[in-house]
Amino acid sequence: MPQYHWSKYTLQFKRPSGTSRGVLKTKNSWFLIGVDEAFEYPALGECSIIEGLSPDPLNSYEDRLTEVCAWLNGDRAELPDLSAYPSIQFGLEMLQADAAVKGSKRFFEDDFTLGKEQMLINGLVWMGDKVWMRSQIDDLIERGFTCIKMKIGAINFEEELELLKFIRDEYPADLELRVDANGAFSADEALVKLQRLSSYRLHSIEQPIAVNQWEAMAELCARSPIPIALDEELIGRNPSEFGVLLSSIQPQYIILKPSLVGGWDASSRWIDTAEALGIGWWMTSALESNVGLNAIAQFTYQQGVHMPQGLGTGSLYTNNLDSPLYLQGQKIGFNPTTNWNLSPINHG
């Protein structure tokens, strides 16, 4: 029988990365680990937190991980309540799936894990001054990206409009532009800002106003000249709320981060609910290491996706874990002949 424990791992950003919640230099993940002589590698489940965004209570986080491991090892009769810990829900789901495939981390046998097909991803432009943001855009275009996602809401709005104008003036007309406001606009000003942004032929805008303003968000979704995607709005929701939220707000898209919504099972429920209402969706990572990114990418491929996904975050870190995942231009792929290097993690 496998023996289970957990270990904390701190990922180091290659360059401090700006978000609406400040500048990130490091990010913590906790790994649920199962060790067994029959396993190809230790079975892993990544529990990934973004402080200030993840709903998981940090003051009891490691205690809950210890309780989960006690349950896995048969030292505790019942699995502890994980309803407030979506990242641990996903980590446990990932761990159990990996243990079932003897630690191989090949959860599905399909053309993605066989190395025959890749998935389209968007390029991500981090917040910063105009010079830094322009240099990122240049780099992404040079690497062949045809879909770029840009964070807005951190610098002056007029400067952001100038940057969008620059992109539209300087780059191919068919470049797909997505923007993410992370709730930066007030409900009163949002529609005017969306109207101004619409001059730049945007594919969509993520979370223009802060969460829990359903009436205001529903009005924006009905009136906005730019399709609206809900992101933070989905975090920490009970499954009983999924249908009520989406039918009340009627967004054009939803964006799913399994570490923030509770894993594969919760993501599947969101997808089913959205598709029944004619709402589009795409999947994004939440700054996981390659362990979590691998689980998300394999699950995403299983959904038969065609539009660019937000899965290009694997190259952000100096100390990410070597894996079969790779980026080639604007695509993510899986090379089944490449080995994992999990030596940086404390296997116990």
Please tell me which residue in 27, 105, 151, 193 is annotated as part of the active site.
151
Please tell me which residue in 27, 105, 149, 257 is annotated as part of the active site.
257
CA distances from 180 to 50, 186, 308 (A): 17, 14, 15
pLDDT for residue 133? 81
Q: Report the CATH number at residue 66.
A: 3.30.390.10
pLDDT for residue 332? 97
pLDDT for residue 268? 98
Same domain membership, residue 159 and residue 10: no
Same domain membership, residue 137 and residue 85: no
Residues 6 or more apart from 197 whose CB is under 8 A from it? 161, 164, 179, 205, 226
Active-site residue, 151 included: yes
Number of domains forming the structure of the chain: 2
pLDDT for residue 134? 86
Range of the domain at 90: 3-100
Q: Of 100, 131, 159, which residue sits at a domain end? A: 100
pTM (two decimals): 0.95
Is the residue at 106 inside a domain? no
pLDDT digits (tens, 9 = 90+) for 53-73: 999 999 999 999 999 999 999
Same domain membership, residue 312 and residue 249: yes
- Low-confidence residues in the chain, pLDDT < 70: 18-22, 347-348
66, amino acid identity: T
Same domain membership, residue 166 and residue 96: no
Is the residue at 292 inside a domain? yes
DSSP 78: S
CA distance 201 to 271: 26
pLDDT digits (tens, 9 = 90+) for 124-165: 988 777 788 889 889 999 999 999 999 888 778 998 899 899
151: closest CA among 173, 128, 120? 128
Residues 6 or more apart from 241 whose CB is under 8 A from it? none
333: closest CA among 300, 287, 307? 300
Straight-line distance from the first to the last Cα atom of the chain, in angstroms, rounded to the nearest whole number: 15
What radius of gyration do the chain's Cα atoms show? 20
DSSP 79: P
Active-site residue, 257 included: yes
Same domain membership, residue 182 and residue 248: yes
**Could you give phi then psi for residue 3, rounded to 5 degrees?**
-110, 140
pLDDT for residue 194? 97
